[in-house]
Structure 1
């Protein structure tokens, strides 16, 4: 039985939705990979199509135009995206990261203004935390927001912003009090049509080549004070509250990607022959795949446990760090081992395993590096 059709308890009632997500990913994502890779971003029309079939803001309440579902719906979509071999569409950032920030911290007026447009694809969301000189250490950001009457004036630069090239609304981590450390960090939503906002280049990456990843610049950008999410100085706390879901999303993609590559490698080694017999018949191949299948099964069990905890509101920061650390380290090992079994073809980008190998490497860095995950976990020991 292929690993990818194992059923998770948290998704037992989502078969119809999974079929919708799978059909959409196969039809709208698979055929366009080379095109998106060449232009370094997806077509904007993809977002509109996703909105039309109801794949955006899945866990946002219906009163704000969302799907009224749970994180389980989000996870199913991210799994099907991974199984389609797509890493270009930044839907997990839009759905699973930015929309929750707006839902949890924006004013009622702003939620009703922005979230229905997120659901339709009219607005594309991004979050800008990392700066050229500040990555995992969010307290070290330099982007400033100075209150001026009913506005904030923002100056600074951000980098590695997923959806940055197309985004219409960016949640920006800023310093409202540069002398207060973590307590001086705030989150402000910036509409990209605001004067003074400009986009830099779309970044060249060794993997995720079709994903829209950009530099953003803020030059005296005047943003209404009403765009502040929550209250001043609460940004760091808000980030810490939302990061567990972000890390869980990364883990979902890692496990689905792992299962998919194992399935592909089993199929390839059974079809490919060497020295007069299938590559799968060699003991090294069977043992390597036995280990890979076991790694995937263990990662799946841990992931499912964490998803269930998250759905109950019980997944804490250390738990999210553990599942992110374990699954991303495992997927890198498994994909590398599987690529080896493809021989020279594994290094050709026309083969999905080659693209997966390049794509998964970032998983040990984004959302907090493996080293940061270990630091978080060690604090609870």
Structure 2
């Protein structure tokens, strides 16, 4: 649950549209990222492992759009987590836009008619939602939470969870994408494991001796819990939700450190108490405030899972970056963190488990010389030992 992918470019202004994605095609069609000083800053953030694949000058980067075979890619097209971290660093260094993002500029790169032709949805989105004409001015963008690599623990063949009768597939299930999902793989995940989960659920139902029944007492308890927010005049649930978003974004966001994550956990604990007393005005007919009142418990538990796992994993890998532990650890590569609930369901527990080893036939598909570009020497030694076994 500590591995969260941040999409580098979401809308940051106005607040009502904050987080709405700005497609990567804007950068693929020539859009560049600039800070408040007008500098095209991504050239300063090319990791050593990617140095041979990405342009180191604006001239070469610009040539790539017309001649990809003979030029390296612009650094704006680095993997999402690299771009997101770079933007985050620029904002924290005080070189961000007034609203806390950076500038994505395509207006000075292409003629207006060409922008509208190539990026019709983006032109419409910014014009309608932010009153920004992207053919005339840059967009303000910033990282936004995009994908969670963790999720419900399921059987890989059937999609069955530990709860009898519960099956999961797609982003809600964990383990498919390791520490960082590759672009496009979520669709493949849905197709493959969606089918497996559907077939697994059908087989489960066919094997039942009789139709399961729920006790009247359980139904009455669930009903009382669901209706409680409508029957009390407590705090507005949106205030608690906003504070939870702010806490997680600022303290357990792209770059993490122990003291900030610890502070976030303290904040989540206080928000849990506030969430128990929220109230929703109105009735059961189309009442988003009531729905949010009910959702807050799960949002808080998921936030606690993310924060506790992030605090425990003392390394940086994929979608998890620790400022106080900036390197990958060969020891942590073999561990996976499993979150659960305390018996009363009020808090989260986290336990270390041994990561299942990769099958020999899959290990054989890796090119050792290519692999050593992406992992530490300790991990490479562990890989070699595993291959020998």
Q: TM-score, normalised by structure 2?
A: 0.27
Larger helix percent: 1
Q: Which has the larger radius of gyration?
A: 2
